[in-house]
Amino acid sequence: DTGVSQDPRHKITKRGQNVTFRCDPISEHNRLYWYRQTLGQGPEFLTYFQNEAQLEKSRLLSDRFSAERPKGSFSTLEIQRTEQGDSAMYLCASSLEGGLNEQFFGPGTRLTVL
Amino acid sequence: AQKITQTQPGMFVQEKEAVTLDCTYDTSDQSYGLFWYKQPSSGEMIFLIYQGSYDEQNATEGRYSLNFQKARKSANLVISASQLGDSAMYFCAMRDTITGGGNKLTFGTGTQLKVEL
């Protein structure tokens, strides 16, 4: 069990640029979640996949944000035309169906928009 | 809407002592689940303990226990015999069922715990 991995760990970009983050969940987990965490706050839910289907999106996910999970394995989160307010830690989590639905988190991608 | 409140921004405890981190919640659901996560400075969220709303006994997991008081809507985390490695941010979270049976987590603002010698 290699855990949830995220790439890159850190990203610095200029305002207006596009960025893409990748999440590789635990292999047998069919549920995948994206959260955003700003300084001094707890993580906030962004979106949820069950296999390849995106089933839930938060109102926090503006039209500049898009997420995919094309084969039901890894997922990508793209932010277009980044703004300074997008600076945050982006966390990915995965879980199994049933039981506690305990979510296992990755190390996160820290985005800084200059 | 569900809400989690953590009123202690920061806590200090001496090594080997016990510490209680407070968490209150608000929900209209009869069935719900509460989680505690630890977030060290590295950033990864580490699951610690879970309490279901219908669990009659308080959850325990090693040095972690959850003081669950349903009528008061509180789910405080107790860490016994604190260690230096316990220094981290601690988040209380509630599970909220969403489309397709998934569960998003609603987090509080966290408590920064510092264990001192």
Q: Of B8-17, B48-57, B102-111, where does the model show the most confidence? A: B8-17
Q: What is the pLDDT of residues B35-82, one digit of tens each?
A: 999 999 988 899 999 999 888 899 999 999 999 999 999 999 999 999
CB contact under 8 A, B105 and A44: no
CB A95 within 8 A of CB A49: no
Q: Residue B100: its pLDDT value, please?
A: 61
Q: Residue B98: its pLDDT value, please?
A: 66
Q: Report CA dihedral (B48, B98, A97, B29) to the nearest 10 degrees.
A: 60
Name which of A101, A102, A111, A112 to mutate to probe chain B: the one with the most chain B Cβ atoms within 10 A of its Cβ: A101
Which is higher by pLDDT, B99 or B69? B69
The residues on B that touch A, with CB distances below 8 Å, are 4, 33, 35, 37, 42-47, 50, 91, 93, 95, 98-110
| pLDDT profile of chain A (114 residues), mean per 10 | 90 98 94 94 93 89 93 94 96 85 91 97
Q: Which residue of B has its CA nearest to A4?
A: B44
CB A43 within 8 A of CB B105: yes
Query: Which residues, numbered 8 to 47 in chain A, qualify as contacts with chain B under a Cβ-Cβ cut-off of 8 Å?
Result: 31, 33, 35, 40-45
Instruction: Please state the length of chain B.
Output: 117
CA-atom Rg of chain B in angstroms = 14
Q: Is A89 on the interface with B (CB under 8 A)?
A: yes
Q: Report CA dihedral (B104, B90, A106, A90) to the nearest 10 degrees.
A: 70
CB contact under 8 A, B45 and A53: no
Residue located via tokens 């202690």: B8
Q: Residue B29: its pLDDT value, please?
A: 84
Q: Residue B72: its pLDDT value, please?
A: 95
What's the rounded Cα separation, in Å, for the pair B65 and B75?
10
Name which of B103, B106, B109 to mutate to probe chain A: the one with the most chain A Cβ atoms within 10 A of its Cβ: B103
- B-chain CB neighbours of A104 within 8 Å are 47
Q: Residue A5: its pLDDT value, please?
A: 96
- B-chain CB neighbours of A57 within 8 Å are none
CB A43 within 8 A of CB A90: no
Pair of tokens at residue B53 = 């709303």
Q: What is the three-class DSSP state of B28?
A: coil
CB B41 within 8 A of CB B88: yes
- Considering only CB atoms, A108 lies closest to which of B4, B44, B107, namely B44
